[in-house]
Protein backbone atom coordinates (compact mmCIF):
# COMPACT_ATOMS: atom_id res chain seq x y z
CA UNK A 1 0.00 0.00 0.00
CA UNK A 2 1.32 3.40 -0.91
CA UNK A 3 1.10 5.70 2.07
CA UNK A 4 -0.76 8.98 1.79
CA UNK A 5 -1.84 11.64 4.24
CA UNK A 6 -4.63 10.33 6.51
CA UNK A 7 -5.18 7.15 4.51
CA UNK A 8 -7.59 4.72 6.14
CA UNK A 9 -8.25 1.14 5.08
CA UNK A 10 -11.58 0.13 6.59
CA UNK A 11 -12.54 -3.53 6.86
CA UNK A 12 -16.22 -4.06 7.65
CA UNK A 13 -19.31 -1.82 7.88
CA UNK A 14 -18.97 1.94 7.52
CA UNK A 15 -18.21 3.98 10.64
CA UNK A 16 -20.23 7.10 11.42
CA UNK A 17 -18.43 10.29 12.40
CA UNK A 18 -20.50 10.58 15.55
CA UNK A 19 -18.50 10.34 18.77
CA UNK A 20 -20.54 7.35 19.93
CA UNK A 21 -18.72 4.08 19.20
CA UNK A 22 -21.47 1.75 17.98
CA UNK A 23 -19.30 -1.31 17.19
CA UNK A 24 -16.00 -2.72 18.44
CA UNK A 25 -13.05 -1.41 16.42
CA UNK A 26 -9.55 -2.79 15.92
CA UNK A 27 -7.24 0.10 15.09
CA UNK A 28 -3.69 -0.44 13.69
CA UNK A 29 -1.44 2.51 12.95
CA UNK A 30 0.81 1.69 10.00
CA UNK A 31 2.49 5.07 9.91
CA UNK A 32 2.44 8.35 11.85
CA UNK A 33 1.14 9.36 15.28
CA UNK A 34 -2.51 9.55 16.29
CA UNK A 35 -4.12 10.46 19.61
CA UNK A 36 -7.63 9.86 20.87
CA UNK A 37 -9.87 10.25 23.92
CA UNK A 38 -11.70 7.14 25.10
CA UNK A 39 -13.36 6.48 28.43
CA UNK A 40 -12.13 9.75 29.91
CA UNK A 41 -8.48 8.97 29.10
CA UNK A 42 -6.14 10.15 26.36
CA UNK A 43 -4.25 7.56 24.34
CA UNK A 44 -1.47 7.92 21.78
CA UNK A 45 -0.59 5.39 19.09
CA UNK A 46 2.74 5.42 17.27
CA UNK A 47 3.65 3.52 14.10
CA UNK A 48 3.08 -0.27 14.35
CA UNK A 49 1.00 0.04 17.52
CA UNK A 50 -2.62 -1.08 17.79
CA UNK A 51 -5.60 -1.09 20.09
CA UNK A 52 -9.24 -2.08 20.44
CA UNK A 53 -11.94 0.55 20.88
CA UNK A 54 -14.98 -0.88 22.68
CA UNK A 55 -18.53 -0.32 21.52
CA UNK A 56 -21.16 1.56 23.53
CA UNK A 57 -18.57 4.11 24.62
CA UNK A 58 -17.85 7.72 23.76
CA UNK A 59 -14.61 8.31 21.93
CA UNK A 60 -12.87 10.77 19.70
CA UNK A 61 -9.85 10.48 17.47
CA UNK A 62 -8.03 13.78 17.44
CA UNK A 63 -7.00 15.11 14.05
CA UNK A 64 -3.40 14.53 13.12
CA UNK A 65 -1.32 17.59 12.32
CA UNK A 66 -1.67 18.63 8.69
CA UNK A 67 1.91 17.76 7.82
CA UNK A 68 1.74 14.30 9.40
CA UNK A 69 1.73 11.33 7.04
CA UNK A 70 -0.80 8.97 8.63
CA UNK A 71 -1.80 5.51 7.46
CA UNK A 72 -4.13 3.31 9.48
CA UNK A 73 -6.10 0.10 9.18
CA UNK A 74 -9.44 -0.30 10.97
CA UNK A 75 -11.39 -3.54 11.35
CA UNK A 76 -15.03 -3.23 12.45
CA UNK A 77 -16.32 -6.14 14.53
CA UNK A 78 -20.09 -5.70 14.19
CA UNK A 79 -22.57 -7.78 16.17
CA UNK A 80 -23.84 -10.05 13.32
CA UNK A 81 -20.24 -11.00 12.47
CA UNK A 82 -19.38 -11.63 16.12
CA UNK A 83 -22.45 -13.80 16.72
CA UNK A 84 -21.66 -15.92 13.65
CA UNK A 85 -18.03 -16.23 14.79
CA UNK A 86 -19.03 -17.23 18.32
CA UNK A 87 -21.43 -19.88 17.06
CA UNK A 88 -18.87 -21.28 14.60
CA UNK A 89 -16.09 -21.53 17.19
CA UNK A 90 -18.32 -22.41 20.18
CA UNK A 91 -16.84 -19.75 22.46
CA UNK A 92 -18.00 -19.25 26.04
CA UNK A 93 -17.04 -15.68 27.02
CA UNK A 94 -15.13 -15.04 30.25
CA UNK A 95 -17.02 -13.46 33.14
CA UNK A 96 -14.51 -10.72 33.99
CA UNK A 97 -13.43 -8.92 30.81
CA UNK A 98 -11.09 -5.91 30.74
CA UNK A 99 -12.84 -2.72 31.90
CA UNK A 100 -10.96 -0.21 29.73
CA UNK A 101 -12.65 1.62 26.85
CA UNK A 102 -9.44 1.45 24.81
CA UNK A 103 -7.58 -1.85 25.16
CA UNK A 104 -3.95 -2.34 24.12
CA UNK A 105 -3.05 -6.04 24.35
CA UNK A 106 0.64 -5.26 23.84
CA UNK A 107 3.36 -6.16 21.32
CA UNK A 108 3.00 -9.52 19.61
CA UNK A 109 4.63 -10.93 16.48
CA UNK A 110 1.31 -12.29 15.20
CA UNK A 111 -0.27 -8.85 14.66
CA UNK A 112 2.44 -7.29 12.41
CA UNK A 113 2.56 -10.55 10.46
CA UNK A 114 -1.20 -10.41 9.98
CA UNK A 115 -1.08 -6.76 8.83
CA UNK A 116 1.58 -7.66 6.25
CA UNK A 117 -0.60 -10.52 5.00
CA UNK A 118 -3.34 -8.05 4.02
CA UNK A 119 -1.32 -6.33 1.26
CA UNK A 120 -2.07 -8.75 -1.63
CA UNK A 121 -5.82 -8.49 -1.02
CA UNK A 122 -6.14 -4.75 -1.66
CA UNK A 123 -7.11 -3.46 -5.09
CA UNK A 124 -5.68 -0.28 -6.65
CA UNK A 125 -8.26 1.83 -4.74
CA UNK A 126 -6.94 0.47 -1.44
CA UNK A 127 -10.10 -1.58 -0.84
CA UNK A 128 -10.51 -5.27 -0.09
CA UNK A 129 -12.98 -7.53 -1.87
CA UNK A 130 -15.83 -8.56 0.44
CA UNK A 131 -15.13 -12.22 -0.35
CA UNK A 132 -11.88 -11.85 1.59
CA UNK A 133 -12.49 -9.34 4.34
CA UNK A 134 -14.74 -11.56 6.47
CA UNK A 135 -12.06 -14.26 6.31
CA UNK A 136 -9.39 -11.76 7.34
CA UNK A 137 -11.61 -10.41 10.14
CA UNK A 138 -12.07 -13.96 11.40
CA UNK A 139 -8.32 -14.56 11.29
CA UNK A 140 -7.65 -11.33 13.20
CA UNK A 141 -10.22 -12.16 15.89
CA UNK A 142 -8.68 -15.61 16.37
CA UNK A 143 -5.28 -13.97 16.84
CA UNK A 144 -6.61 -11.41 19.34
CA UNK A 145 -8.34 -14.10 21.40
CA UNK A 146 -5.13 -16.14 21.45
CA UNK A 147 -3.11 -13.12 22.61
CA UNK A 148 -5.64 -12.11 25.28
CA UNK A 149 -8.36 -14.76 25.89
CA UNK A 150 -10.32 -12.49 28.27
CA UNK A 151 -11.23 -10.33 25.25
CA UNK A 152 -14.00 -12.88 24.64
CA UNK A 153 -15.86 -11.17 27.48
CA UNK A 154 -15.67 -7.91 25.53
CA UNK A 155 -16.47 -9.08 22.01
CA UNK A 156 -19.25 -11.52 22.88
CA UNK A 157 -21.17 -9.35 25.33
CA UNK A 158 -24.33 -8.31 23.46
CA UNK A 159 -26.06 -6.59 26.36
CA UNK A 160 -27.01 -2.92 26.50
CA UNK A 161 -25.35 -0.57 29.02
CA UNK A 162 -26.60 -0.94 32.58
CA UNK A 163 -27.66 1.90 34.87
CA UNK A 164 -24.64 3.83 36.14
CA UNK A 165 -23.86 6.96 38.17
CA UNK A 166 -25.24 9.74 35.98
CA UNK A 167 -23.42 12.63 37.67
CA UNK A 168 -20.00 10.99 37.43
CA UNK A 169 -20.57 9.99 33.79
CA UNK A 170 -21.66 13.46 32.69
CA UNK A 171 -18.79 15.19 34.49
CA UNK A 172 -16.38 12.91 32.64
CA UNK A 173 -18.03 13.04 29.22
CA UNK A 174 -19.65 16.47 28.77
CA UNK A 175 -17.14 17.46 26.08
CA UNK A 176 -18.34 14.79 23.66
CA UNK A 177 -20.66 15.89 20.88
CA UNK A 178 -23.26 13.19 21.46
CA UNK A 179 -27.04 13.48 21.47
CA UNK A 180 -29.11 13.48 24.66
CA UNK A 181 -30.52 10.13 23.48
CA UNK A 182 -26.99 8.70 23.42
CA UNK A 183 -26.20 10.01 26.89
CA UNK A 184 -29.41 8.42 28.15
CA UNK A 185 -28.58 5.08 26.52
CA UNK A 186 -25.02 5.02 27.83
CA UNK A 187 -26.16 5.68 31.40
CA UNK A 188 -28.68 2.84 31.18
CA UNK A 189 -31.83 4.97 31.13
CA UNK A 190 -34.79 5.75 28.94
CA UNK A 191 -34.82 9.32 27.64
CA UNK A 192 -37.55 10.37 30.08
CA UNK A 193 -35.78 8.73 33.06
CA UNK A 194 -32.51 10.39 32.04
CA UNK A 195 -34.11 13.86 31.92
CA UNK A 196 -35.85 13.28 35.24
CA UNK A 197 -32.69 12.06 37.01
CA UNK A 198 -30.66 14.85 35.40
CA UNK A 199 -33.05 17.50 36.76
CA UNK A 200 -32.82 15.97 40.23
CA UNK A 201 -29.00 15.93 40.22
CA UNK A 202 -28.12 19.15 38.36
CA UNK A 203 -31.35 21.17 38.71
CA UNK A 204 -31.12 21.91 34.99
CA UNK A 205 -32.01 20.48 31.60
CA UNK A 206 -29.32 18.35 29.88
CA UNK A 207 -28.98 20.64 26.84
CA UNK A 208 -28.63 23.84 28.89
CA UNK A 209 -26.21 22.25 31.38
CA UNK A 210 -24.00 20.84 28.59
CA UNK A 211 -23.68 24.19 26.82
CA UNK A 212 -22.94 26.05 30.07
CA UNK A 213 -20.39 23.46 31.18
CA UNK A 214 -18.58 23.51 27.84
CA UNK A 215 -18.53 27.31 27.71
CA UNK A 216 -17.15 27.56 31.25
CA UNK A 217 -14.37 25.16 30.30
CA UNK A 218 -13.74 27.22 27.16
CA UNK A 219 -13.46 30.43 29.20
CA UNK A 220 -10.95 28.75 31.51
CA UNK A 221 -8.82 27.50 28.60
CA UNK A 222 -8.87 30.84 26.78
CA UNK A 223 -8.02 32.76 29.92
CA UNK A 224 -5.39 30.45 31.40
CA UNK A 225 -3.68 29.06 28.28
CA UNK A 226 -2.51 30.40 24.93
CA UNK A 227 -5.04 28.37 23.00
CA UNK A 228 -7.32 30.05 20.48
CA UNK A 229 -11.05 29.50 20.01
CA UNK A 230 -10.38 27.70 16.71
CA UNK A 231 -8.20 25.19 18.57
CA UNK A 232 -10.68 24.22 21.28
CA UNK A 233 -14.27 24.47 20.03
CA UNK A 234 -14.36 21.00 18.43
CA UNK A 235 -12.79 19.35 21.48
CA UNK A 236 -15.54 20.92 23.61
CA UNK A 237 -18.38 19.44 21.57
CA UNK A 238 -19.27 22.43 19.38
CA UNK A 239 -19.81 21.72 15.69
CA UNK A 240 -19.15 25.24 14.33
CA UNK A 241 -16.83 28.04 15.42
CA UNK A 242 -19.53 30.64 14.69
CA UNK A 243 -22.01 28.86 16.97
CA UNK A 244 -19.38 28.59 19.68
CA UNK A 245 -18.50 32.30 19.48
CA UNK A 246 -22.18 33.32 19.54
CA UNK A 247 -22.94 31.16 22.60
CA UNK A 248 -19.76 32.36 24.34
CA UNK A 249 -20.69 36.02 23.91
CA UNK A 250 -24.24 35.37 25.08
CA UNK A 251 -22.95 33.90 28.34
CA UNK A 252 -19.90 36.07 29.04
CA UNK A 253 -20.76 39.32 27.24
CA UNK A 254 -17.74 39.16 24.93
CA UNK A 255 -16.51 37.00 22.10
CA UNK A 256 -13.49 34.68 22.52
CA UNK A 257 -11.48 37.13 20.38
CA UNK A 258 -12.43 40.03 22.64
CA UNK A 259 -11.40 38.00 25.69
CA UNK A 260 -8.04 37.28 24.06
CA UNK A 261 -7.51 40.99 23.35
CA UNK A 262 -8.44 41.89 26.92
CA UNK A 263 -5.99 39.28 28.17
CA UNK A 264 -3.19 40.82 26.07
CA UNK A 265 -3.75 44.32 27.47
CA UNK A 266 -4.00 43.00 31.02
CA UNK A 267 -0.61 41.30 30.80
CA UNK A 268 1.21 44.27 29.24
CATH class entry, domain 7-155: mainly beta
Q: How far is CA 159 from the centre of its chain?
A: 20
Nearest-angstrom CA–CA distance, 31 and 29: 6
Residues of the chain with CATH 1.10.10.60: 166-266
How far is CA 40 from each of CA 47, 60, 253, rounded to the nearest angstrom? 23, 10, 31
Please count the CA atoms within 13 angstroms of the CA of 2 that sit on its side-chain side. 3
The Cα angle at residue 14 between residues 16 and 164, in degrees rounded to 5: 50
**How is domain 166-266 classified at the architecture level of CATH?**
Orthogonal Bundle (1.10)
> What is the C-alpha R_g of the chain?
21
pTM over 0.95: no
Q: DSSP per residue over 63-92, as a string?
A: PPPTT---EEEEEEE-HHHHHHHHHHHT--
- Taking the C-alpha atoms of residue 262 and residue 256, their distance in angstroms, rounded to an integer, is 10
pLDDT in tens, the chain (268 residues): 333 334 677 777 766 656 889 999 999 999 889 888 887 788 899 999 999 999 999 998 875 554 468 888 999 999 999 999 999 999 999 988 898 999 999 888 999 999 999 988 887 777 787 788 889 999 999 999 999 999 999 999 999 899 999 999 999 999 999 999 999 999 999 999 999 999 999 999 999 999 999 999 999 999 888 888 998 998 898 989 999 999 999 999 999 988 878 877 666 5
Intervals of CATH 2.60.120 along the chain: 7-155
The interaxial angle of helices 130-147 and 110-118, nearest 10 deg, is 180
Tell me the residue ranges of DSSP E strands in 87-198.
Answer: 102-103
How far apart are the C-alpha atoms of 196 and 165, rounded to whole Å?
14
Exposed, middle or buried, 232 (CB in 10 Å: 0-12/13-18/19+)? buried
Amino acid sequence: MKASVSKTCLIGPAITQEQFIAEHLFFYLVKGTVSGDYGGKSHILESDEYGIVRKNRLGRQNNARKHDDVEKIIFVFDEPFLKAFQEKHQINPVKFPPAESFIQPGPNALIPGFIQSLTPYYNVQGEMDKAFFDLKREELLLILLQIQPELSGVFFDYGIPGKIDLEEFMQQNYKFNASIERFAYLTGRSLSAFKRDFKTIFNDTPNHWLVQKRLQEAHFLLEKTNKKASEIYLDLGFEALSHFSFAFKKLFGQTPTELAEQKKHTHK
